[in-house]
Structure 1
Amino acid sequence: MKQVVQNYKSGELALLDVPVPGCKPGGVLVRTAYSLISTGTELMKVSEAGMSMLGKARSRPDQVAKVVQSVAANGVPATYRKVMGKLDSYTPLGYSLCGVVEQAGAGTDEVKVGDLVACAGNEHALHAELNWVPKNLYARVPDGLAPRHAAFGTVGSIALQGVRRGEPQLGDVALVVGLGLIGQLVVQLLAASGVRVVGADPDPARCDLAAGLGAVACGDPGSTALDAAVAELTGGHGVDQVYLAAAGGGNQPVELAARLSRDRGRVVDIGKCRLDLPWNAYYEKELDVRFSRSYGPGRYDPEYELEGRDYPIGYVRWTERRNLACFLDLLARRRVDVEPLVSHVADFEDAVETYGRLKDGGLKAVAVLFRYPGHAEEPEPAAVAAPTVSAVPAVSAAGTGQGGGKPAPVRSAGMPVRLAFVGAGNYATSMLLPHLAQHDGAELSAVVTTTALSALNAKRKFGFTQATTDLDAVLGDPAVDAVFVVTRHGSHAELTRRALLAGKAVFVEKPLALTEDELAGVLAAVEESGNDRLQVGFNRRFAPLLREARKRFGVRGGPASLRYLVNAGRLEKGSWYLRQDTEGSRFTGEGGHFVDTASWLLAADPVSVYAVTAPGDEHLQVVLRYPDGSTATLSYVTAGPPGFPKETLDLVGDGRVLRFDDFVRAAVYDGRRKRWVGSRLPRARDKGQRAELDAFLTAVRTGGPMPVPLRSLAATTAATLAVRASLAGGAPVTLAATR
């Protein structure tokens, strides 16, 4: 299929062939009939991509701050790879469309194949021939509403939510500043609500358009005529609400709002304009400044948008999906008319040219639509597409599913190991694939993702032979020797199980499993298939500085004590790491790294786990006990200062001390003197990924032992999972020996 994309680094726009997205549960696969260009939001993004690197940095200071933090935590090279990987990638455009349901995933009974739906979301309602859309981001189009009009559903929801935030009443007078696409819709919605509307925009043509759509007066924001019209309509008191639908860096809209508002009026920011509030003016009138967050309640909430968890109507009357349905209803009943806003309809194959004309001013438009091949003005039933399989399947019962797979044959000497990647997110593209793409012993055969564009980006940047969303085809390909599972945590165990049963060597990023049942399912797959070629991404034990420190420390003769402080830091609100119901706790996802490092340093697997935490506190104290009496205390904290190193540890035993400071410095003390001091590496923190990958590829190519015994991988995972059980029971948990 084809999709419009942009390279944020170069500003290049392209219409590319990308894999068809898989139809996952909880959503529908939609074939687009029309998609709408937001001439405000999208063109701002297009223009920003054309800036210099300095210009981009100035426009996004929040992202610059994140880069600085990443440099402090991970060093310059790793941060550079991550930042450039994001910049030099194709990103999607679009967020409002109408199309026909081509395939319905499980849990979407309210629509069926052939239904016409309006779709929303800058990750789902893209300028692409096919899109997978979760259930709370689409609404069925009422009978008789033209698809080209239904494509306005998302921008209509934005305007509608802005009006709701203003709480207009019959007889009010409102000022709409900025008469672009959103402003024109706000004018109509207010007029339909019995509000007299005044419009402000420096473009006379847009003022005339708004007047034709219900505004009682319009004018240039700086004109005295606009002030006079407001004074006449309000008896000199000022407007009841001001809706800021303008964009740009000037402060004129905010100052205009203060001048023309009544005492205790409301100012609602819908667009993205400068908000340097003149304090005296806003204070003296006690103006109520409000923000309108996109489509409405549910926006940016992953549980609502991605998992389909609706808000009870008794508590949240108008969610983003209900706003979408409401706006479609207004269109169908002709309370709002979007046809006068359609400045241009372009065939989808002319998308790049259309963006170019909009950017250089050759096409002046309020709204532009893309028309897709094979569309129909009236919805027609669509043929049922052949089933596609998601790259992240639902978890099935442990030990069931595909079976009979044989371990992949050993590669001939000198032949590269043929790899398939399932997932191509930040970690895969910044920490694993840069090494593998340059590795003589690896051949990147296929990349599988659930979103088409991420697979295409990985193929383009790292040289994969194939990009796809069909996991079954990749697992069934006898040419693939090994599978890398680098998806979100909740899918690791099931994907690993399936790949083992298919006879592939598997490298899975931590964690291996989120529950004891998932771990049992992986081990059952090993037993069923006879395939134990498994590696988990516990990379710390491969870090060169830590390996040298362990060597210098030497062999122990008695028990040792290890202290490991992990200054994990706080996560941003909305991070998928915080979605414990689907991705496990934060320690379950990350803690295996530290358990594995401790066990490797102590050369044994733990026999018991005891964990404590203060009520309501995210800080964990975990004590691991080992067969020879050694102990390891892991302090996992999230509220430490970001400037403090993330990982520090001390190992004490046999009169010696090993001190390790965040992959930058290490030392071994013996008696009263320093026995060894590692060199300081100020620009790089090598956490072992390269050496880990080398070891895995060597094992797969030669058929030799895997870098870490399966018994140890299972023991580390079991110990990590036991932390939750210890916290629940308030007592140590004894670990059973793992087969």
Structure 2
Amino acid sequence: MKQVVQNYKSGELALLDVPVPGCKPGGVLVRSVCSLISTGTELMKVSEAGMSMLGKARSRPDQVAKVVQSVATNGVPATYRKVMGKLDSYTPLGYSLCGVVEQVGAGIDDVKAGDLVACAGNEHALHAELNWVPKNLCTPVPDGLAPRYAAFGTVGSIALQGVRQGESRLGEVALVIGLGLIGQLVAQLLTASGVRVIGADPDPARCELAERLGAAACGDPGSAAVESAVAELTGGHGVDQVYLAAGGGSNQPVELAARLSRDRGRVVDIGKCRLDLPWNAYYEKELDVRFSRSYGPGRYDPEYELEGRDYPIGHVRWTERRNLACFLDLLARGRVDVEPLISHVAEFDDAVETYRRLKDGDLKAVAVLFRYPEPAAEAGEAEAPAVVAVPAVRRGGTVSAPARSPRGAVRLAFVGAGNYATSMLLPHLTRRDGVELSTVVTTTALSAANAQRKFGFAQATTDLDAVLGDPSIDAVFVVTRHSSHADLTRRALLAGKAVFVEKPLALTGDELAGVLAAVEESGNDRLQVGFNRRFAPLLREARKRFGTRTGPASLRYLVNAGRLDHGSWYLQQGTEGSRFAGEGGHFIDTASWLLGADPVSVYALTTPGNEDLQVVLGYPGGSTATLSYVTTGPAGFPKETLDLVADGRALRLDDFVRASVHGPERWVSSRLPKARDKGQHAELAAFVRAVRGGGPMPVPLESLVATTAATLAVQASLAGGAPVTLAGAR
């Protein structure tokens, strides 16, 4: 299928061939009929992409701050790879469309295949022939409403949410500053609510259009006409509400809002304009400044948008989806008219040229629609306690090491191509002799196409079954969200593939048991979990310098994990497990490797009100490891520090930058600054060697299972408030 994409580094726009997205549970697969270009938001993004690197940095100081923090935490080389990987990738455009449901995922019962739906979201309602859209970001189109009008649903919801924030009442007077697409819709919605509207925009054509659609008067923001209209309609008191629907770097809109508002009026920011509020003017009138967050309640909440958890109507009357349905209803009943706003309808195949004309000013438009071709053929089917037992590893079957030619290249498939895969794994594999990147599989078409372009995969697809059924593929990398790791690992093992799965291996005991059942059924134990720190060269050298241990050891591991950004999927504990369940295995594995044993007990305590954890692990022979996993530490402090003390010797690791050993002989690593190497390169090399030669996997399966069971036991200890014995641990 085709999709409009842009490379943010170069500014290149393209109509790219990408795989068809899979139809996941909780959503629907939609074939686009019409999609709407947001001439404000999208053209701003297109313009930013054409800037120099310095210009991009100046336009996004929030992202610059994140880069600076990443440098402090991960070092310059890793940060550079991460940033350039994001910049030099195709990103999607679009967020408002209407289409026909082609396939319905599990858990959807209010729409069916063949229904016409309006869709929202800058990750789901894209300018693409097919999109997977979650339940709460699409709604049925009322009978009789044309798709070209229903495609306005998302931008209409943005305007509607802004009007709701203004709490307009019958008979009031409102000023709308900025009469682009959103401003025109705000003006119509206010007029339909019985509010008299005055518009302000420097474009005479837009002013004339707003008046034709019901505004009482419109004019240039700097002209006397707007002030005269406000004085006449309000008796000199000023408008009741001001809606800022303008963009750009001028502070004129907020200054005009203060001058023309009544005492204790309301100012609602809908667009993205400069907001240097003149303090005296806003203070003297005690103006109520409000922000309108996109389509309404639910926006940026992954539990609402991705998991389909609706808000009770008694508590939240107008959610994103209800706003979307409401605006479509207003369109169907003729209370809002979008036909006069449509300046141009372009064929989807002409998308790149259409954006160029808009950017260059050759095409002056309020709203532009893409019209999609009829499908040539039917779309193909898409994929649809106190004691914790450590599961015993039983190997059955006859496929301990899948047969392969020792001389041929190891052919790899990646399931998932997110940030970690593209910044920390694939760069090491693309430069490795004897490795062939065969296929990348993702549920979103564009991420697969990006990975194929950047890393040289022979194929990109959304069809996992085709990969698992391909006998030429030697190993499968599972680099997806945590909730899918165990099932994908199980399926790949049953298909006879060697498997590299990022941590965690499993989020529950049942998931872990399912993986081991697949090992027993197939006899395929070719499994590696991405516990990379035991492969870090600096830590391995320090362990070698420390020497053989004879007595019990004490290990302390401080992990300054830091806070997560709002909206991070790591916060989706209902589906993705706790943050420690996802990441803690790294540190337990490192401790176990240093101590040369698997843990036999786990005791965990948490700090009330946050996710800080203290985990004490007991080991055979009396050794202990204390993990302090904290989210409340300072951003500039090192992420990982470790101390190991035993037999009159001490080993110290400072964030994989420096290490030392103190004892009869002292050893200190080089003081020259080096990039942090947390072992991914060596880990991948060991995995590829094992796959090529059929030898043992880099980490014994029993150790992977023990680490996973200990990670899961942390939650059991927290729930019971007592230590947990790992029954069956070696």
Number of the residue aligned with 2:228: 228
Cα distance change of structure 1 residues 449 and 407 upon mapping to structure 2, 3 Å threshold = farther
Report how far residue 385 of structure 1 moved: 4.0
**1:463 & 1:404 partners in 2: Cα distance?**
35
1:98 pairs with 2:98 = yes
1:557 to 541, 550, 554: 550
**Equivalent position amino acid for 1:325 in 2:** A
Number of the residue aligned with 1:378: none
Report how far residue 407 of structure 1 moved: 5.7
Q: What's the TM-score once normalised by structure 1's chain length?
A: 0.96
> Conserved in 1, the CA contact under 8 Å of 2:400 and 2:524?
yes
**Equivalent position amino acid for 1:589 in 2:** G
**2:606 & 2:12 partners in 1: Cα distance?**
51
Number of the residue aligned with 1:208: 208
**2:227 & 2:609 partners in 1: Cα distance?**
55
1:456 pairs with 2:456 = no
Q: What's the TM-score once normalised by structure 2's chain length?
A: 0.97
**1:266 & 1:613 partners in 2: Cα distance?**
44
Number of the residue aligned with 1:609: 602
> Conserved in 2, the CA contact under 8 Å of 1:407 and 1:504?
no
Number of the residue aligned with 2:388: none
1:533 pairs with 2:526 = yes
**2:185 & 2:719 partners in 1: Cα distance?**
53
**Equivalent position amino acid for 2:580 in 1:** F
**1:682 & 1:580 partners in 2: Cα distance?**
37
> Conserved in 1, the CA contact under 8 Å of 2:230 and 2:238?
yes
Q: Residues 524-559 of structure 1, C-alpha deviation per residue, up to 9 Å, x if partnerless? A: 110111000000000000000000000000001111
* Aligned counterparts, 1:132-151, within 5 A: 132-151=132-151
1:580 to 564, 573, 578: 573
SS at match of 1:686: coil
**Equivalent position amino acid for 2:626 in 1:** T
> Conserved in 1, the CA contact under 8 Å of 2:410 and 2:436?
yes
Number of the residue aligned with 1:332: 332
1:316 pairs with 2:316 = yes
**2:21 & 2:729 partners in 1: Cα distance?**
39
Number of the residue aligned with 1:290: 290
**2:170 & 2:608 partners in 1: Cα distance?**
51
Report how far residue 619 of structure 1 moved: 1.5
Number of the residue aligned with 1:389: 383
**Equivalent position amino acid for 2:192 in 1:** A
Number of the residue aligned with 2:28: 28
Report how far residue 302 of structure 1 moved: 0.5
**1:297 & 1:405 partners in 2: Cα distance?**
55
1:687 pairs with 2:687 = no
Give me the CA root mean square deviation. 1.5
1:659 pairs with 2:652 = yes
Number of the residue aligned with 1:700: 691
> Conserved in 2, the CA contact under 8 Å of 1:102 and 1:384?
no
**1:404 & 1:550 partners in 2: Cα distance?**
38
**1:459 & 1:311 partners in 2: Cα distance?**
39
Report how far residue 437 of structure 1 moved: 0.7
**2:248 & 2:221 partners in 1: Cα distance?**
14
Cα distance change of structure 1 residues 408 and 463 upon mapping to structure 2, 3 Å threshold = farther
Number of the residue aligned with 1:729: 720
Number of the residue aligned with 2:49: 49
Q: Residues 307-330 of structure 1, C-alpha deviation per residue, up to 9 Å, x if partnerless? A: 111111111111110100011000
**Equivalent position amino acid for 2:262 in 1:** R
**2:728 & 2:683 partners in 1: Cα distance?**
26
Number of the residue aligned with 1:622: 615
* Aligned counterparts, 1:487-498, within 5 A: 487-498=480-491
> Conserved in 2, the CA contact under 8 Å of 1:243 and 1:269?
yes
Report how far residue 410 of structure 1 moved: 3.8
Report how far residue 409 of structure 1 moved: 3.2
1:301 pairs with 2:301 = yes
Q: Which runs of 5+ in 2 are unaligned?
A: 385-390
Cα distance change of structure 1 residues 332 and 404 upon mapping to structure 2, 3 Å threshold = farther
**1:205 & 1:77 partners in 2: Cα distance?**
51
1:503 to 485, 490, 496: 496
**1:627 & 1:126 partners in 2: Cα distance?**
55
SS at match of 1:373: coil
**Equivalent position amino acid for 2:682 in 1:** A
**1:705 & 1:240 partners in 2: Cα distance?**
74
Number of the residue aligned with 1:379: none
> Conserved in 2, the CA contact under 8 Å of 1:405 and 1:502?
no
Moved more, 426-435 or 572-581: 572-581
Report how far residue 616 of structure 1 moved: 2.9
Moved more, 104-113 or 334-343: 104-113
Residue correspondences, number:
721
Q: Residues 133-160 of structure 1, C-alpha deviation per residue, up to 9 Å, x if partnerless? A: 1110111111111110110011000000
SS at match of 1:628: helix
Report how far residue 680 of structure 1 moved: 3.1
**2:44 & 2:680 partners in 1: Cα distance?**
38
Cα distance change of structure 1 residues 408 and 552 upon mapping to structure 2, 3 Å threshold = closer
> Conserved in 2, the CA contact under 8 Å of 1:174 and 1:197?
yes
Q: Residues 332-355 of structure 1, C-alpha deviation per residue, up to 9 Å, x if partnerless? A: 000000000000000000000000
**Equivalent position amino acid for 1:354 in 2:** T
**Equivalent position amino acid for 2:469 in 1:** G
SS at match of 2:97: strand
Q: Residues 155-198 of structure 1, C-alpha deviation per residue, up to 9 Å, x if partnerless? A: 00000000010011110000000000000001110000001100
**2:614 & 2:40 partners in 1: Cα distance?**
50
**Equivalent position amino acid for 1:21 in 2:** P
**1:656 & 1:719 partners in 2: Cα distance?**
27
**2:456 & 2:448 partners in 1: Cα distance?**
11
Report how far residue 727 of structure 1 moved: 1.2
Moved more, 474-483 or 619-628: 619-628
Work out the percentage of aligned pairs sharing the same amino acid.
85
**Equivalent position amino acid for 1:39 in 2:** T
Report how far residue 406 of structure 1 moved: 4.4
> Conserved in 2, the CA contact under 8 Å of 1:124 and 1:133?
yes
**1:683 & 1:326 partners in 2: Cα distance?**
57
Q: Residues 643-686 of structure 1, C-alpha deviation per residue, up to 9 Å, x if partnerless? A: 11111111111111111111011111114xx5211113524000
Cα distance change of structure 1 residues 37 and 412 upon mapping to structure 2, 3 Å threshold = same
> Conserved in 2, the CA contact under 8 Å of 1:714 and 1:738?
no
Cα distance change of structure 1 residues 597 and 109 upon mapping to structure 2, 3 Å threshold = same
> Conserved in 1, the CA contact under 8 Å of 2:98 and 2:147?
yes
Q: Residues 61-89 of structure 1, C-alpha deviation per residue, up to 9 Å, x if partnerless? A: 00001001111111111100000000000
Number of the residue aligned with 1:80: 80
1:668 to 661, 672, 685: 661
Cα distance change of structure 1 residues 446 and 408 upon mapping to structure 2, 3 Å threshold = farther
**Equivalent position amino acid for 1:148 in 2:** R
**2:180 & 2:606 partners in 1: Cα distance?**
54
> Conserved in 2, the CA contact under 8 Å of 1:77 and 1:683?
no
Number of the residue aligned with 1:394: none
**Equivalent position amino acid for 2:371 in 1:** R
Cα distance change of structure 1 residues 558 and 268 upon mapping to structure 2, 3 Å threshold = same
Number of the residue aligned with 2:505: 512
**1:404 & 1:178 partners in 2: Cα distance?**
70
Report how far residue 618 of structure 1 moved: 1.8
**2:489 & 2:162 partners in 1: Cα distance?**
46
**2:63 & 2:243 partners in 1: Cα distance?**
29
Q: Residues 554-607 of structure 1, C-alpha deviation per residue, up to 9 Å, x if partnerless? A: 001111111111111111122111111111111111110110001000111111
Number of the residue aligned with 2:429: 436
Report how far residue 384 of structure 1 moved: 6.7
> Conserved in 1, the CA contact under 8 Å of 2:401 and 2:525?
no
> Conserved in 2, the CA contact under 8 Å of 1:103 and 1:384?
no
Number of the residue aligned with 1:644: 637
> Conserved in 2, the CA contact under 8 Å of 1:580 and 1:586?
yes
**2:50 & 2:373 partners in 1: Cα distance?**
30
**Equivalent position amino acid for 2:331 in 1:** L
**1:37 & 1:373 partners in 2: Cα distance?**
17
Q: Which runs of 5+ in 1 are unaligned?
A: 376-381, 391-397
Number of the residue aligned with 1:179: 179
SS at match of 1:100: strand
**Equivalent position amino acid for 2:678 in 1:** K
> Conserved in 1, the CA contact under 8 Å of 2:97 and 2:118?
yes
> Conserved in 2, the CA contact under 8 Å of 1:405 and 1:503?
no
**2:232 & 2:569 partners in 1: Cα distance?**
53
> Conserved in 2, the CA contact under 8 Å of 1:559 and 1:629?
yes
